[in-house]
Amino acid sequence: MPKTNHCVNLTPTKVARLKPAPPGQRYQIMDALVPGFGIDTLIPELDQVIH
């Protein structure tokens, strides 16, 4: 299970500044305003949106 940071307002600036996860790891950033919406960060080529 990836590490999750639950209390972040996802703005275009925040998403653009996300760092890729270290090799072999991943993390999730969930939006504080829209329940169940977030970013699952694996490696730069494979960033995906959770909905």
DSSP state of 36: T
DSSP H or E run through 16: helix 12-16
How far apart are alpha carbons 26 and 18 in whole angstroms? 12
The pair of three-digit structure tokens given for residue 25, joined into one six-digit string: 């790891």
pLDDT digits (tens, 9 = 90+) for 37-50: 888 876 555 555 55
Per-residue model confidence (pLDDT) at position 47: 52
pLDDT digits (tens, 9 = 90+) for 15-42: 888 888 887 788 888 898 988 888 887 6
How far apart are alpha carbons 21 and 5 in whole angstroms? 13
Burial grade of 15 (CB within 10 A; 0-12, 13-18, 19 or more): middle
The model's pTM: 0.64
